[in-house]
Amino acid sequence: MWLIKWIKEYQTMKLELQERRQALRVCESCETLKHQLEIVNHNNRELVAQILKEDPIETPVERNLQPILPKRHVPWSVRRQELEANDRATAQLKRQQAEEIRPTAVDSPQIEELEADVLGATQAKAGI
């Protein structure tokens, strides 16, 4: 009798041990998902930081444009002419800004000397 009781206790202890081991066992797919979640969260934090980062403030351009005021009973042809004139003025300002930014070619004496040296060297080779 005591042997049967002892075997039952042994089996219950064995089951409890297996349950503890199951509870402590870490699932590989869970670990993989946790790692991927960390990566995604890190990337999201970086994106938010970049979005919120302040960009250098551009200097405002002085414009001599007349604002188009909403008028009552303005014919379309007149309104179109105003819009076209405003567009032309905006395009002119953009062209001026692009010209200010674009570097200009400068003929320097160093370039001329270098060209003369190259031409002299090629003529000397041709004469040999």
Q: What sign has the CA pseudo-torsion 95, 96, 102, 106?
A: positive
pLDDT, one tens digit per residue, over 31-44 is: 888 899 999 999 99
Do 90 and 120 contact (CB within 8 A), yes or no? no
Q: Which residues, 6 or more positions from 97, have their beta carbon under 8 angstroms from its beta carbon?
A: 61
Give the amino acid at 8: K
Distance separating alpha carbons of residues 120 and 126, to the nearest angstrom: 10
**pLDDT tens per residue across span 17-32:** 888 887 777 677 888 8
Query: Average pLDDT in the 98-120 region?
Result: 73
Q: What is the mean pLDDT of residues 102-121?
A: 72
Planar angle of CA 47, 53, 56, nearest 5 degrees: 140
